[in-house]
Amino acid sequence: MTATRERAAQVAEEVTRRLADPAAVERVAAANTDQLADGRRPLVWHPMSLNEGYLGIALLHSERGDRDRAYAFLSAAARTRPARHALLDGLPALLFTVRAAATRPGDYASLLSRAEPAVRELTRERAAAEHTRLRPGRDGVEFAAYDIVEGLAGLGRLVLEYGDTEPLSYLIALTEPIERAGTSVPGWLVTHAAVRGDHAGDGHFNLGLAHGVPGPLALLAIAYGRGLRLPGHAQAMERVADWLLDWARGGSWPPTVPLHVQRERAAAPGRRPHDHREPIRPAWCYGTAGVARALYLAGQALDRPGWREAAIRSLHETLARPWDTWGMVDAGLCHGWAGMLHIVGQIGRDSGDERLLAHADALAGRVLDAFAEDAPFGFRYAASGDAEVSPDRVGLLEGAAGIALALHHHSSGKSSATGWDTALLLN
């Protein structure tokens, strides 16, 4: 074991120790509010949440084999009311975390017997409602309909364990082209602005794993690789993967492509009307890391070496750039060092690429550099732009629990015991 792996194990253990008591965690985390550029001051803490609540911490304790502490945080979450229902929030998030914690026959049997049918029905109803909106002549969609964070890519990953295919059918239909102003464009056109409060323009195509079409691609690839294959399944994956590769530049992808730019590209396929000269942050949510993982999964599922090679190449090209120019502002899984660490390590192990594995160890060093002894949970959250954000976060995507999971995974070098990163559609 390298010195970095040893230190990663120590820090993961220390963070887990600081996240041991639900009441103590809530005293700090529940006081968090953010001040956003548009004037909103949202409450960050949502108890029945994987992202910023009890559930992400329960997942950490389950992964580390502490059944009692996992139970304490699950119990605290189950006594609260959810703000919404999605893979990362509410009843689906509770179901995901309980399944991860259930390691013995009969564990959480009563809760599972009630949560499973409710979540499956909720997902079927949502998929049916969204499918009816895919009518001829439609304007487009909201990304909350299909994405990982709120939509059917996330919920579809959860119900995939039961063999439910309604989300897959919807996402396959979503890839069918639509016509706008006499031009055929991808069916995943988003009609609202990419960032709340911005001008929507005429719509955009989102390329982030969190909110864009790489999320549906990842789910379709995971299902296909497990033998769950529907009519049009492979063709849908081909549409998305080929489109993503068409917008790759120097190992990076833009966060969005405006509709008018897509139409220009369709009208003149021999030239590139939109060239994002400054690569964006290579994160899970947007950028190289998330897109590369989705492409790699699709390449595995359909046995497309070119897609897998493109994913690996994009990581190498990104890693060749000075890391201090990446725009990383924290260590989190969502848009920080831990997300890049985890994905580079995954693809390195899957492909046997030793250079990626060596880079993963160096990326773990960047995560460890962010450890703050005086922070309540060991790491502080940050955001770029004009937002003033609360730094003491505990959850999976943006907080200490997710960072500790990535460090624990890196230090052990083993497959996850709970499948925690399936909540990010990375497996």
Give me the residue label for tokens 């595995």.
Answer: 300
Residue corresponding to tokens 């031009």: 183
136 DSSP assignment? T
Contacts for 227 with CB less than 8 Å, ≥ 6 apart: none
Burial class for 402, CB neighbours closer than 10 Å (0-12, 13-18, 19+)? buried
d(CA 349, CA 409) in angstroms, rounded, equals: 12
Using DSSP's 3-state secondary structure scheme, residue 286 falls into: coil
Residue for token digits 């919807």?
Answer: 170
Q: CB of 18 within 8 A of CB of 379? A: no
The DSSP-derived string for 46-108 is -SSBSSSSHHHHHHHHHHTT-HHHHHHHHHHHHTS--S--BTTBHHHHHHHHHHHH--STTTT
Q: What is the dihedral sign for C-alpha 111, 116, 117, 122? A: positive
Q: Do residues 86 and 149 touch, judged by C-beta distance below 8 A?
A: yes
CB atoms < 10 A from the CB of 373, how many?
6
285 annotated among ligand-binding-site residues: yes
Are the C-beta atoms of 186 and 175 separated by less than 8 Å?
Answer: yes
Q: How many CB atoms lie within 10 A of CB 299?
A: 22
Structure tokens at 402: 């997710």
Count of CB atoms within 10 A of residue 126's CB?
20
Q: For the stretch 360-370, what's the b/e string if a residue is b when 16 or more beta carbons lie within 10 angstroms of its beta carbon?
A: bbebbbbbbeb
Annotated binding residues, written as ranges, equal 285, 334-335
Annotated binding residues for Zn(2+), written as ranges, equal 285, 334-335
